[in-house]
Amino acid sequence: MTTRFDSSFLFSFNHLSSSPQFKTPAIKGRRKIFRFKSGAKLIEASSSPSLSTSSSSARNINNEIHSVNGFGDNVLYKRRAVIIAATVLLPLIGFDGFGVHAAESVTDKTLIIREGVRKVVTKGKAAGVLRLVFHDAGTFDMNDKSGGMNGSMVYELDRPENAGLKKSVKILEKVKSELDGTEPVSWADLIAVAGAEAVSLCGGPLIPVQLGRKDLTVPDPEGKLPEETLNASALKQSFLSKGFSTQELVALSGAHTIGGKGFGSPTVFDNSYYKILLEKPWASSASMIGLPSDHVLVEDEECLRWINTYADDQRKFFEDFKNAYIKLVNSGAMWKDA
């Protein structure tokens, strides 16, 4: 039997105790228990914000998984311990994989990549790193199946739409060169994981990312990313050509809640993007808040419905953002086992 396993749930425990969303006592905890054939238990905290857990149960989960693995307090940070755990425990796991693409078999790689990313990506750098994801994956075109999450971003840094992204690539380059010696990682996987990490670091949803993408070694076709001057119907059309609905366009645009566009705190991932869009601050002053592509969304009836929904319900935004993000980082990806 081939055991397929996405270890991404392991690292998510780390964040449960530090992410602001888990400090809310009103949010109920939930666990899943996976039984090893050997009888040992592994407990997963849900990665879904709507099913998130309180900080105290997160700590309990942390303790429990530490004692299951038996490597003490720093288990999640200790590469060697992780490799031993992967070697000894993972082949014993007897459940079906739960990744969308079970592209890479038994691996502790997600954990190792997250650990590397966490060393270099601070809250202040999170927005630039998240933007990289859209600029790599957002070139995808369903019609000719070109572009997508293939790491070609690193060959496209001189394009005008990618201005300012060199420094984000440089940050990840450190992680990549460190990992490539022992655990080679594709740019596509690294960017996908780093973006998810950036989101959770700023208090957004925890997003599991499947590994196994291959890199392209040439740039993607030009002119595939939507321009900021597009009107709402052209933006919808652009996203549709990449396989995304209007709802997903609105959810993904919520990424602009972090960074320098004035939608609340630049380092807090929450639903202020939608709340501020509804206020239309740009209409009454010379405010620099938002991009033209943000402003046009409120003028479109269908987009406005989703903006209202997300402004009222942050959990729904987190859930939809998570799902759209997973779809984004899988767009046009070339998988190792495909």
| Per-residue binding letters, 270-299, with ligand HEM (x by CB under 6 A) | ---------------------x-x------
Q: Tell me, yes or no, if 135 is annotated catalytic.
A: yes
Q: Which two tokens stand for residue 75?
A: 């288990």
d(CA 251, CA 5): 28
Phi, psi dihedrals of residue 163, rounded to the nearest 5°: -55, 135
Length, in residues, of the chain: 338
Q: Which of 203, 197, 38, 199 is nearest to 111 (CA)?
A: 197
Tell me which of 260, 265, 279, 337 binds ligand HEM, using CB under 6 A: 260
Of these residues, 15, 66, 101, 135, which one is catalytic? 135
Stretch near ligand HEM under the rule CB under 6 A, chosen from 86-94, 106-114, 169-177, 252-260:
252-260
In the bound state with ligand HEM, the residue whose beta carbon lies nearer, of 82 and 169, is: 169
Q: Is residue 131 a contact point for ligand HEM (CB under 6 A)?
A: yes
Q: Is residue 130 a contact point for ligand HEM (CB under 6 A)?
A: yes
Which residues does residue 32 pair with via DSSP β-bridges, in sequence order? 44
Q: Is residue 221 a contact point for ligand HEM (CB under 6 A)?
A: no
E-assigned strands of the chain? Answer: 31-35, 41-45, 213-214, 334-335
| Per-residue binding letters, 132-151, with ligand HEM (x by CB under 6 A) | -xx-----------------
Task: Classify each residue of 162-191 as buried b or exposed e, where b means 16 or more C-beta atoms within 10 Å of its C-beta.
Answer: beebeebbebbeebbeebeeeeebbbbbbb
Find the shortest distance in angstroms from Cβ 27 to ligand HEM: 24
Q: Which of the residues 44 through 103 are near ligand HEM (CB under 6 A)?
A: none
Find the shortest distance in angstroms from Cβ 55 to ligand HEM: 27
Residue type, 268: V
Residue type, 283: A
Q: Which residues bind ligand HEM (CB under 6 A)?
A: 127-128, 130-131, 133-134, 164, 226, 228, 235, 252-253, 255-256, 258-260, 291, 293
Q: Catalytic residue numbers?
A: 135
